[in-house]
């Protein structure tokens, strides 16, 4: 079974998740409501073939490596890959700073993940698109340059 928990705050992402499952493998997708979230799920014995990274334990305690065929897909569609990463473990915020008494507000993306492998995959996909990024903490990266944010906006789009 593949189960993806989605916050009820983002109904379009819930719909997109079900559409993606049906377009890839699933003939039937269930939506199971829980407090604050919806589990979008599908039964099928072939999900592990499409998602070989799945396994027991916490994802940051086991290797997360793309299969060769998955790497080829990400190389062709890095923006789609980044959209999934940022919609699941990232955000777009208005950063507020004061420099020499003058206040500035600018958009910024943050991506946070405890898995060094997943962080590396995010960095690789950003590099494929020429998007400047920097690590602002051990487990968090930031995209803040104006042109980098604009490029990421075109690929990630708003959560809704």
Which band of pLDDT confidence, cut at 50, 70 and 90, is reported for residue 18?
Answer: very high
How far out from the chain centre does Cα 90 lie? Answer: 7
Q: What percent of the chain has pLDDT over 70?
A: 99
Sequential DSSP letters for 86-155: HHHHEEEEEEEEEETTEEEEEEEEEEE-S-HHHHHHHHHHHHHTT---EEEETTEEEE-SHHHHHHHHHH
Please state the pTM of the whole predicted model.
Answer: 0.87
- Once rounded to an integer, what is the mean pLDDT over residues 89-94? 95
CA torsion angle for 74, 77, 79, 81 (degrees, to 10)?
A: -40
Distance between CA 109 and CA 96 in Å, rounded? 13
SS3 27: coil
Distances (CA, A) of 72 to 5, 55, 78, 107, 125: 27, 22, 10, 31, 12
| Residue 158 CB partners (closer than 8 Å, separation 6+) | 92
Domain extent listing, the chain = 1-51, 63-160
Distance between CA 101 and CA 45 in Å, rounded? 60
Kindly report, residue by residue over 120-159, the tens digit of the pLDDT.
999 999 999 999 999 999 999 999 999 999 999 999 987 7
Domain 63-160 part of CATH 3.10.28.10: yes
Which band of pLDDT confidence, cut at 50, 70 and 90, is reported for residue 79?
Answer: very high
For the ranges 16-30, 93-107, 115-129, 137-151, the lowest mean pLDDT is seen at 16-30
Distance between CA 142 and CA 25 in Å, rounded? 34
């Amino acid at each position: 079974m593949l189960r993806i928990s989605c916050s009820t705050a983002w109904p379009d992402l819930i719909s997109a998740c079900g559409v993606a499952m049906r377009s890839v493998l699933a003939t039937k997708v269930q939506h199971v409501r829980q407090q604050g979230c919806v589990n979008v799920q599908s039964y099928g014995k072939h999900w592990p073939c499409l998602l070989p990274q799945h396994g027991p334990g916490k994802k940051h305690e086991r290797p997360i490596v793309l299969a060769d065929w998955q790497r080829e897909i990400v190389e062709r569609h890095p923006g789609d890959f980044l959209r999934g990463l940022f919609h699941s473990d990232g955000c777009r915020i208005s950063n507020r700073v004061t420099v020499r008494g003058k206040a500035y507000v600018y958009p910024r993306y943050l991506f946070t993940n405890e898995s060094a492998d997943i962080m590396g995959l995010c960095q690789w996909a950003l590099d494929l698109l020429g998007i400047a990024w920097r690590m602002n903490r051990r487990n968090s990266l930031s995209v803040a340059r104006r042109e980098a944010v604009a490029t990421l906006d075109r690929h990630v789009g708003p959560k809704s």
